[in-house]
A and B are shown apart, each in its own frame.
Chain A
Amino acid sequence: QVQLQESGPGLVKPSETLSLTCTVSGGSISSYYWSWIRQPAGKGLEWIGRIYTSGSTNYNPSLKSRVTMSVDTSKNQFSLKLSSVTAADTAVYYCARDLGIAAAGPRYYYYGMDVWGQGTTVTVSS
């Protein structure tokens, strides 16, 4: 079955760029959307954005100016960069497979995010 694993530095200095990679195993990265979600300690979930394997992206408007996502289908990986980080960006970062919307019969369904990585903690501190 498909598994996701986040990787990247656990500590980032303020004003620098946070960089994370999600590796997809047990299946192909192709023909899916892939999302990044974060969760500050003790708080709720925040969607950061998503990327399709063609490279098209959708970002959370509140983070859009600082977010860049990319995909490397040859490595079955996709990545997140978040620039100019502050302490407010300290969180557990998750990657997830995003099934999006698809037609089934006469109408469209939203299929949700069905596979998640275990999450990686990123702390922003000097």
Chain B
Amino acid sequence: EIVLTQSPATLSLSPGERATLSCRASQSVSSYLAWYQQKPGQAPRLLIYDASNRATGIPARFSGSGSGTDFTLTISSLEPEDFAVYYCQQRSNWQYTFGQGTKLEIK
């Protein structure tokens, strides 16, 4: 099973600042990685697919990068609605796993 490790567990920033979230895979997943945002009481929302492509309707301030084992989600300038939990998820050999999540909180 491929393990995804997200860091940091919690990120405290202010609106307007830049957020950088990391996801590391225990073995290569090529570019088969997605990022999701989850707010309290809501289902996850797809942000990024195939490591670097924004899903439909996702603002340009969200960007993804990486391939192989190291991936990054960047939010260029935080808006109040961006404070949430973010999960990475990989697809490999017909199996999916999620990272444990990064909580982005208001400083």
Contact = CB atoms under 8 A, between A and B. Distances in A.
A110 B49 contact: yes
A32 interface: no
Contacts of A118: 42-43
The CB with the most chain B CB atoms within 10 A, among A44, A61, A101, is that of A44
B87 A44 contact: yes
A109 B96 contact: no
B46 A113 contact: yes
Given A61-B1, A101-B91, A110 B98 contact: no
B50 A109 contact: yes
A84 interface: no
A47 B97 contact: yes
B45 A116 contact: yes
Interface stretch (B13-21, B31-39, B73-81): B31-39
The CB with the most chain A CB atoms within 10 A, among B42, B43, B95, B98, is that of B43
Given A46-B98, A58-B94, A109 B44 contact: no
A58 B55 contact: no
Contact of A94 (B43, B49, B53, B95): B43
B44 A110 contact: no
Interface residues of B, number: 29
B37 to A, nearest CB: 11
B7 interface: no
A54 interface: no
26 contacts: A35-B96, A37-B98, A45-B44, A45-B89, A47-B89, A47-B96, A60-B95, A61-B95, A94-B43, A94-B44, A99-B49, A109-B31, A109-B49, A110-B32, A111-B49, A111-B50, A112-B34, A112-B36, A112-B89, A113-B46, A114-B46, A114-B49, A116-B43, A116-B45, A118-B43, A119-B43
Please give me the 6 A-B residue pairs with the lowest Cβ-Cβ distance, nearest first. A112-B34, A110-B32, A116-B43, A112-B49, A47-B96, A109-B50
